């Protein structure tokens, strides 16, 4: 079989392009949709504290590790491990990443579909004058029907595939560069409105005042999973993006900047949601995965010019979701194109169709076609395929992938190789290099292993 011509690989064009693309991958529904609802279900403040701790201690080192592997190998994750350690089985980590890409995109595209419905409702002014109960019913009715959510999901998958189809530089970079800062601005506007509502203080208290009695083993694993999910780490997305970064860029500062931006947006999303939730009398742990779609329209209703802000917000949410979904699909496409020597276009079509099939079942599992397992938890009615894929990817596959990635860098790639890549062969100083090495050799793998085993109920600390 003819080999893929690696000299023809695409790459990012500029410094700002890299940060925009990586931040575009990281910032998405994970911050705005997932963070508030998972934080709400896990007690708020204490969850946030553990989450931020994990970002600093584990997230940034894993992100830097991924960039390092990717840029050194100039390959997709699967090919990178094969190239860097040819006779060992590390490529299985790349394979696990591809599986994670399937599971993530399947449920992520469900939620991305909801953002399209949100946009349509916003344009049609359907939220005007609605009560919390009305919004609750609207959301549940929409998700319950099945067909509409599936159609929107497929539209979204199509958009994702269309961008990946046309390649990295022209597709991914261009969209992320301008729109991410606008998203930040509008979230800040939302925050201001939320914290000035009567009764907002309770929400801020919930988010920022840690109550450690609410911490369970599962909470800690949820925080770790959310950190991985939100930073787009543990499945090779940033190995893939790292492979498009030029040898001149500073990988460490990129990792820190992207992680900081991502965490900032998640916290802002929390500041927008929780005060509003309490002000409108919605319990933090009762809305499930529909939370932001049930709360945000209420907030916009309370705002001067809310109609226009909401339109802009929906549009930006869709863009934020898109810059994330393309980064997930890119992992599968880059791997298939380079390893199987397929054309980028064929690889995109095959991957998008395969993922969409799984995605349809995932969407329908929330509707009237129940696919899932009976819930072992009291008070929880059923666990759907959607819940299973979400849990499997965020709390199992990504932390496991991150575990192997730091082990690989810490113990197998060779200290000098790692140092050369991070310092651009000695051209930039790496002041914290020894600390980084210590973290990826000991702290991160041990912490991930303990949190994982404890959270799964396999050990008791």
Residues that bind ligand PHE (CB under 6 A): 25-26, 28-31, 104, 229-230, 232, 235, 237, 324, 327-328
The nearer residue to ligand PHE, 235 or 447, going by C-beta atoms, is: 235
CB of 429 to ligand PHE, least distance (A): 30
330 in Cβ contact with 22 (< 8 Å):
no
The nearer residue to ligand PHE, 74 or 230, going by C-beta atoms, is: 230
Closest CA to 392 of 99, 58, 66: 99
Q: Which residues contact 86 (CB under 8 A, 6 or more apart)?
A: none
The nearer residue to ligand PHE, 27 or 204, going by C-beta atoms, is: 27
The nearer residue to ligand PHE, 328 or 451, going by C-beta atoms, is: 328
CB of 15 to ligand PHE, least distance (A): 21
The nearer residue to ligand PHE, 38 or 138, going by C-beta atoms, is: 38
Q: Give the helix, strand, coil percentages of the chain, each rounded to 5.
A: 75, 0, 25
Q: What is the Cα–Cα distance from 28 to 72, expressed in whole angstroms?
A: 27
CB of 261 to ligand PHE, least distance (A): 11
Q: What is the Cα–Cα distance from 182 to 319, expressed in whole angstroms?
A: 11
Q: What's the token pair of residue 396?
A: 């199992």
In the complex, residue closest to ligand PHE by CB: 30
Computed from CA positions of residues 298, 199, 261, 28, in that sequence, does the dihedral angle turn out positive or negative? Answer: negative
CB of 420 to ligand PHE, least distance (A): 27
CB of 62 to ligand PHE, least distance (A): 12
Q: For the stretch 400-424, what's the b/e string if a residue is b when 16 or more beta carbons lie within 10 angstroms of its beta carbon?
A: bbbbbbbbbbbeebeeeebbebbbb
- For residue 302, the Cα-to-chain-centroid distance in whole angstroms is 29
CB of 366 to ligand PHE, least distance (A): 19
Please report, for residues 252, 408, 411, 433, the alpha-carbon distance to residue 438 in angstroms, rounded to integers and kept in the order given. 15, 13, 11, 9
The nearer residue to ligand PHE, 317 or 360, going by C-beta atoms, is: 317
The nearer residue to ligand PHE, 200 or 362, going by C-beta atoms, is: 362
- As a whole number of Å, the end-to-end CA separation of the chain is 52
Q: In 146-195, which ranges are continuous DSSP H helix?
A: 147-165, 174-195
Q: What is the Cα–Cα distance from 178 to 184, expressed in whole angstroms?
A: 11
Say what angle helices 200-208 and 45-54 make with each other, to 10 degrees.
40
Q: What is the Cα–Cα distance from 348 to 157, expressed in whole angstroms?
A: 11
The nearer residue to ligand PHE, 159 or 200, going by C-beta atoms, is: 159
CB of 324 to ligand PHE, least distance (A): 4
The nearer residue to ligand PHE, 29 or 98, going by C-beta atoms, is: 29
Give Rg (Cα) of the chain.
Answer: 21
The nearer residue to ligand PHE, 55 or 279, going by C-beta atoms, is: 55
CB of 188 to ligand PHE, least distance (A): 19
Closest CA to 386 of 112, 116, 138, 160: 112
Q: What is the Cα–Cα distance from 409 to 251, expressed in whole angstroms?
A: 14
CB of 215 to ligand PHE, least distance (A): 23
CB of 459 to ligand PHE, least distance (A): 27
């Amino acid at each position: 079989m003819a080999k893929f011509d690696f000299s023809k690989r695409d790459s990012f064009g500029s410094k700002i392009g890299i940060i925009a693309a990586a931040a575009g991958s990281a910032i998405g529904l994970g911050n705005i949709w997932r963070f508030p609802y998972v934080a709400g279900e896990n007690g708020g403040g204490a969850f946030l504290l553990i989450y931020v701790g994990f970002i600093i201690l584990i997230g940034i080192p894993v992100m830097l590790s991924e960039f390092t592997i990717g840029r050194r190998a100039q390959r997709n994750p699967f090919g990178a491990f094969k190239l860097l350690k040819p006779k060992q089985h590390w490529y299985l980590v790349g394979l696990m990443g591809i599986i994670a890409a399937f599971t993530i995109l399947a449920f992520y595209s469900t939620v991305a579909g909801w953002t399209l419905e949100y946009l349509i409702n916003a344009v049609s002014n359907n939220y005007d004058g609605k009560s919390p109960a009305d919004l609750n019913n609207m959301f549940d009715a929409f998700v319950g029907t099945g067909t509409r959510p599936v159609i929107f999901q497929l539209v979204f998958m199509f958009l994702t595939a269309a961008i990946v189809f046309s390649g990295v530089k022209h597709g991914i970079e261009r969209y992320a560069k301008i729109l991410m800062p606008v998203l930040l601005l509008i979230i800040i506007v939302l925050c201001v409105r939320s914290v000035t509502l009567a009764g907002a203080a309770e929400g801020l208290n919930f988010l920022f005042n840690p109550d450690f009695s609410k911490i369970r083993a599962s909470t800690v694993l949820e925080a770790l999973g959310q950190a991985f999910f939100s930073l787009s780490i543990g499945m090779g997305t940033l190995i893939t993006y790292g492979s498009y970064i030029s040898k001149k860029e500073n990988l460490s500062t990129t990792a820190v900047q992207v992680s900081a931006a991502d965490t900032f947006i998640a916290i802002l999303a929390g500041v927008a949601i929780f005060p509003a939730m309490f002000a409108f009398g919605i319990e933090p742990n009762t809305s499930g995965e529909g939370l932001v779609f049930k709360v945000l329209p209420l907030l916009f209703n309370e705002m001067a010019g809310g109609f226009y802000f909401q339109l802009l917000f929906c549009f930006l949410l869709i863009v934020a979701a898109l810059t994330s979904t393309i980064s997930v699909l890119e992992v599968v496409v880059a791997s298939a194109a380079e390893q199987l020597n397929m054309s980028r276009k064929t690889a995109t079509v095959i991957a998008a169709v395969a993922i969409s099939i799984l995605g349809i079942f995932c969407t329908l599992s929330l509707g009237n076609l129940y696919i899932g397992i009976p819930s072992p938890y009291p008070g929880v009615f059923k666990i759907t395929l959607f819940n299973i894929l979400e849990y499997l990817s965020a709390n199992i596959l990504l932390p496991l992938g991150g575990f192997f990635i730091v082990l690989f860098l810490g113990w197998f790639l060779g200290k000098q190789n790692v140092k050369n890549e991070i310092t651009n062969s000695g051209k930039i100083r790496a002041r914290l290099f020894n600390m980084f090495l210590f973290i990826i050799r000991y702290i991160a793998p041990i912490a991930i292993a303990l949190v994982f085993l404890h959270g799964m109920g396999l050990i008791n600390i």
